[in-house]
Chains A and B, each alone.
Chain A
Amino acid sequence: MQPIFRYTHLDTPIHRLHPWVKMAYVLFTLVLVMYPVKEGDMSILLIWLGFSAMMWAVARIELRRFTMLLRILIGTFIFLILIQGFTYRGGNTPLIVLGHLKLWEADLGVITKEGVWFGLVLCVRILVATSSLPLFVMTTPTSAIMTAMGKLHVPQTATFMFVSALSFTTLIFEMWGSIVDAQKLRAFDIDSMNFVKRAVKAYIPIITPLILLLFRKANDFQIAMETKGFGAPIVPTEIETLTARPVDYLWLAFIVGLFVLCTVLKFA
């Protein structure tokens, strides 16, 4: 299974897009999800999510990578829906009544329809936020990211911290799988535990070796990079030549237009 942040070498319109256009898409996505959220924001978020889904489809990213993202987030989604269901202050249509425990304006014993809906809005908001960056890094080679960020005068160290973090995610996925297997061999089966048990006790035997191993690997990475001149006080050569084509401007115009539309709908 390929890790979610790994670049996929394909030739699609999204892969060919200028990195700046894709960076603009990530930026606008983040701005959109930063707007104060309301119950009625679902349609705006769904418009942007639909656009993101279209980009994923055009980029021919396998569905399994998206489902992997969903699997990572599913626990958070359940938590948000339940918490909002019980505690949303604007909730007045009971869905499930377990009892009554008034705390300020909320009745903590009742799951309300409005609360569940608001929880769903938050889930979609998270999904919108988390689907843009993977699309960017899965369709843009690291060297192009570095060149694009260099042209934006982002310091090389910051750029490389970003791209090496991406390399590390691949490694973390591989190590995570190996550690889970190693602990299963000692009858510690994290997959068969329920959500609560996992959250309470399951992660220590997984995360402790992961952190210790990452420290070690980070050291090796540092050696590999610095012995190849990384950090030299020299202006690095740009390997990728990035040129903007008319189609890039069209995509950019579309993204800006969609963002403006969503903003207008949000504040209208």
Chain B
Amino acid sequence: MAKDVAISLQDVTFTYEGDVVALRNLNLTAHKGEFVVVLGANGAGKSTLCYLLSGIVPHIYGGRRRGHVSAAGLDPWDEPLYVTSQHCGVLMQDPEVQLFMPTLKAELAFGPANLGMPRHEIIRRSQAALALVRLEGLEEHNPRDLSGGQKQRAALAAVLTMNPRVLVLDEPTSQLDPLGRWEVVEAIERLKQKGDLTIVMTTHETEEILRLADQILVLEQGETVLQGTPSEVFTQAARLEKVGVKTPALILAQSKLCKREASSPGEQQVTFTIPEVAGQIHESIEASRLVVRPDALPRPQRAALDAPVILEARHLTVEYPGPPRVVALRDVDVQIRRGEFVGIVGQNGSGKSTLVKCFVGLLRPKKGEILFKGESIRKLSVGDMARRVGLVLQNPDYQLFTASCQDEIRFGLRNVGVPPEEMEQRVEEALCLVGLSEEADLFPFRLSFGDRRKLAVAATMALNPQVLIMDEPTTAQDHHGRYQLAELAKRFHEEKQGTVLMITHDVDLIARYAHRLIVLREGQVLLDGPTAEVFTQADELKKSFIVPPVAVQLAAELAPLGVPAHVMTMEDLYQVLVPQRDGGEVV
């Protein structure tokens, strides 16, 4: 068996230059064909583990190591990177920085050509890799013109042409839309089925890897907190929650509502379908272990239909000249009322960003009109609009440039001409709102990514907008951090009676916060209505590769038993389905 060992880490501790300990006493053994998933909150050491296996550490990032490391039979510290990379390939999060050649064909040939492979071998490897990731026929395309999922698959194919025996995937789906994620996971699944590649993948998306994982390693601050098969790990929901790892919703629902104890954690089933869990809940209800209390869940708050319209798009059509010419929005009519909390979903390229760019005046449509409180914004400058509608972008690093957090907030206020004494008060309030008062004098780039996003929110909020738009507030956040920005938006909505628009791919986020949901597809409004109603239209949502949250799907299956249709989150479901003690008393 020992000869099949593809990865071996024994008592490994790694410290970056500057004495930051990233991994402590780590042990891991993976055999040929095994799929290892590494979970953990941001900063747990997942990426460092990827770097250590693939030789990026120590050849690009320096540091000190203790313990034994072997990947595909090599110690990455003893070999130059071009040797390690022929045995252990690495795919990173951002596909944009991994693609640099003008055609896909050249991209795939780049690695083996650097190694002096014969031309016919390069062509053979390229064709095999393209077939595996299903990108045949796109050889002459510029990789930068591909969709997000295609780009990441192209980057994966480029790694595969190096013919590695170990493949390291560092959050490969974290920057993709639902379709892109599905495409990449499907490609990874095919690689696993081939059986000759050992795969190590880091992720926050536990649902995604359930059916793939053979072994799971959970890290916290560089140390192993859990390690074992999916059933051994995912049945310890409380422990996972503590270290910031999400337990897949169906496992959680099954363990909370069905209470089927196995003799040991490893024997419990962890791969379920919605009908299976719904069936088990059904059984529990029939056996009087659960009671359905439809009235326990209050009806969702509906935005007042008589509230005045604050933002409106009328017959909006936007085209990008290209080439190729792209019609981003086609005759879109949308009205946003004051006090609404609206979610906007849709695939990449569906027109979401274009719509909000029109709302804030960054794009000036040639056809159609944007109105703020009934008046056209055509004559308003971007600065005028910034005081009315605030947009928080996905990447805060596009805006941060000053020496301190407070200067960062002052910058916008100065641009809109706020008097100095009022400015200081607003800076203080904004920093306090996002919980960064202590960091007021800190250089913004020294903050974590999550805190930099909060600073960007503070800078926007300080301008006192009446409408707040957030673009993908959960991007690059771990399980605990994912709702931090949404909570800030909720406070703005509740305390200042502000209007909120949230662009996201995260259906759980929508279910938790948005009262109204707009689904865009190919530049048109596909669905628009109260969130609960929109989520019931599963067939229409499928057209945009959107799957309603697990709680909504379970509620739909259990509707004949009286579970109300406005169940949106797992917390809602637990309110409606209440365990009953033997004596009939509700717990």
Contacts and interface: CB of A to CB of B under 8 A. Distances in A.
A240 to B, nearest CB: 8
Contacts of A181: 357, 362, 393, 398
A229 B398 contact: no
Contacts of A208: 401
A232 interface: yes
Interface stretch (A81-89, A219-227, A245-253): A219-227
User: Which residue of A220, A228, A235 has the most chain B CB atoms within 10 A of its CB atom?
Assistant: A228
User: Which residue of A217, A224, A236 has the most chain B CB atoms within 10 A of its CB atom?
Assistant: A224
Interface stretch (B102-110, B215-223, B544-552): B102-110
Interface in B71-113: 80-82, 85-86, 89-90, 92, 94, 96-98, 100-103, 106, 109-113
Contacts of B401: 204-205, 208-209, 212
B59 interface: yes
A224 B93 CA distance: 11
A225 B92 CA distance: 12
A226 to B, nearest CB: 5
Contacts of B397: 209, 212-213, 216
Interface stretch (B258-266, B409-417, B554-562): B409-417
Contact of B162 (A212, A229, A234): A229
Interface stretch (A20-28, A110-118, A120-128, A164-172): A164-172
Nearest to B360: A185
A37 interface: no
Contacts of A69: none
Contacts of A2: 323
B17 interface: no
Contacts of B122: 237, 239
Interface in B386-400: 386-387, 390-391, 393, 395, 397-400
B398 A209 contact: yes
A222 B459 CA distance: 33
Given A185-B362, A226-B81, A170 B106 contact: no
Given A220-B97, A224-B98, A141 B382 contact: no
A228 B117 contact: no
Given A142-B101, A208-B401, A184 B113 contact: no
Given A188-B411, A237-B112, A225 B54 contact: no
B82 A229 contact: yes
B386 A186 contact: yes
A39 interface: no
A231 interface: yes
Contacts of A175: 398
Given A141-B102, A186-B399, A223 B415 contact: no
Contacts of B141: 9
A34 to B, nearest CB: 30
Given A188-B411, A189-B382, A224 B97 contact: yes
B419 interface: no
Contacts of B59: 226
B82 A231 contact: yes
B119 interface: yes
Contacts of B479: none
Interface residues of chain A: helix, strand, loop or mixed (majority)? helix
Nearest to B80: A232
Contacts of A183: 399
Contacts of A189: 381-383
B158 interface: yes
B114 A239 contact: no
Nearest to B469: A185
A175 B110 CA distance: 25
B17 to A, nearest CB: 14
B411 A205 contact: yes
A148 B103 CA distance: 17
A7 interface: yes
A136 to B, nearest CB: 13
User: Which residue of B98, B118, B391 has the most chain A CB atoms within 10 A of its CB atom?
Assistant: B98
A182 interface: yes
B137 interface: no
Nearest to A239: B109
B458 to A, nearest CB: 12
B477 interface: no
A1 interface: yes
B383 to A, nearest CB: 3
Given A187-B386, A209-B397, A228-B85, A217 B97 contact: yes
B116 A235 contact: yes
Given A226-B82, A239-B122, A209 B112 contact: no
A221 B408 CA distance: 29
A185 B119 contact: no
A178 interface: yes
A219 B117 CA distance: 26
B386 A229 contact: no
A219 B119 CA distance: 30
A78 to B, nearest CB: 25
B243 interface: no
Nearest to B126: A239
A235 B56 CA distance: 23
B398 A178 contact: yes
A239 B382 contact: no
B463 interface: yes
Contacts of A228: 85, 110-111, 114, 158-159, 162
A192 interface: yes
Contacts of B387: 187
Given A178-B398, A220-B92, A223-B56, A187 B115 contact: no
Given A9-B140, A227-B54, A234-B114, A186 B119 contact: no
30 contacts: A62-B323, A143-B102, A143-B106, A167-B101, A175-B398, A179-B398, A181-B398, A187-B387, A187-B412, A187-B463, A188-B383, A208-B401, A220-B94, A220-B98, A221-B97, A223-B90, A224-B100, A228-B158, A228-B159, A229-B82, A230-B114, A231-B82, A235-B116, A236-B113, A236-B114, A237-B109, A237-B112, A237-B122, A238-B113, A239-B113
Q: Which 6 A-B pairs have the closest CB atoms?
A: A187-B383, A229-B114, A228-B111, A186-B412, A232-B82, A187-B415
Given A185-B399, A234-B115, 4 more contacts: A186-B463, A209-B400, A212-B401, A230-B110
